[in-house]
Structure 1
Amino acid sequence: MTEPVVAGRVPAKVTLEAGKDYWWCACGQSKNQPFCDGTHKGSGFSPMKYTPEKAGDYWLCACKHSSKKPLCDGTHKTLP
């Protein structure tokens, strides 16, 4: 697998705690989107650790093609 699976065409709004580590799914196969559930094993993908500095709402990329991973940059709007 060389390209991630598009898990969604809209970002996932999540409330995150400051200083806590979160593992964002990079492969798109997790059943616990936008977070990793270990499904990537053997795919060549690895989850991305994200530790927000501030608590609050974040929009995490679900299409897996953002240039600002794990945050959404609107790339989902341009996918075929």
Structure 2
Amino acid sequence: MNTIISGRVRKLVSATLIQPWIWPIITAPKVQLSTLSTEPVIASKKPFKVELVCGKRHSWCTCGHSKKQPFCDGTHKTKTQGLMPQCFIPEKDSKTWLCGCKYTANPPYWDSTHKQEFIQSALLSENTDS
């Protein structure tokens, strides 16, 4: 096909531009964005007195969202990212205190961390009994 433009003859050429091959092909990593919290919520500003059974597996809630405090009810699967229950098996039957604020340095046991100002001034989650 010929076209005359300003007295000159131009040929229209159909062409497909091909991107030069780049090796290796670099792709961006897939990123998962999440609005789930990675920090526990304070379930209680006091420890929970519980009876532990020797040889029985107990799962202490680490996220603070469980409705069966201080034990896990699986709520962490939908409410938090990366927080799993602390599983333990007592060596003897006992009555003991388990942490309710979820910030103990000796999980799952109470260590008076709940007396700190940041815990005492915090709002409690609506989902748990305190």
Following superposition, the deviation at residue 56 of structure 1 comes to: 1.1
TM-fit CA distance, 1:54: 1.4
Spell out the pairing of 1:30-69 with structure 2 (5 A cutoff): 30-42=66-78, 43-44=80-81, 45-69=83-107
* Structure 1 position 70 matched with structure 2 position 108: yes
Q: How many residues align?
A: 80
Q: What TM-score results when the alignment is normalised by the length of structure 1?
A: 0.95
**Cα distance, 1:31 vs structure 2:** 0.4
> In structure 2, what is the Cα distance between the partners aligned to 1:24 and 1:35?
4
Return 5+ residue gaps in structure 2 as ranges: 1-36, 119-130
**Identity among equivalent pairs (%):** 50
Of 51, 58, 61, which residue of structure 2 is paired with 1:22? 58
Map of 1:2 onto structure 2: 38
Answer with 1 or 2: which has the greater Rg.
2
Structure 1 gap ranges (5+)? none
- CA-to-aligned-CA distance 1:8-66 (integer Å, 9 cap, x gap): 00100000111110000000000000000010004121011011111010100000000
